[in-house]
Amino acid sequence: MQFLIFLVFAMLVGSVLFAKKDTLSTRLKVIFLIIVGLLIGLAWLYEDTISAESQEYRVALNAFKQGKTLYCDDVEVSAKKFVFISGTQSFVANDKNKEHKGVVIDIATCKTEK
């Protein structure tokens, strides 16, 4: 998908650069290229941020699966008391955990250490 978007951008930039002067002025071409550059920069920044967050979630989930305790908003989450739901990326209390019954904890709030 990313390759397809890259090809569309490349074709768009190429068509703007090779457009006749009477169709698009040089100033308009420069403005267009600056806007495209900014959009690509913002997309890269967004992708980098999401990638870093995903890595943190994977580390927390691996620790949970290894039997370690996670600390999520003052709640200690362990495999003994909670179950991980992959669809919502959250922890839900299991049947043995009456203290936190009905509580849903998002993995984004969890840390591996206090």
> How much is the pLDDT for 13?
77
pLDDT band, very low/low/confident/very high, at 78 (cuts 50, 70, 90)? very high
The answer to whether 39 and 54 are in contact (CB under 8 A) is no
pLDDT band, very low/low/confident/very high, at 84 (cuts 50, 70, 90)? very high
pLDDT tens-place string over residues 23-50: 778 888 888 889 888 988 888 889 889 9
> How much is the pLDDT for 11?
79
Half-sphere exposure of 41 (CA within 13 A, CB side): 6
Q: Which residues contact 71 (CB under 8 A, 6 or more apart)?
A: 77, 110, 111, 112, 113, 114
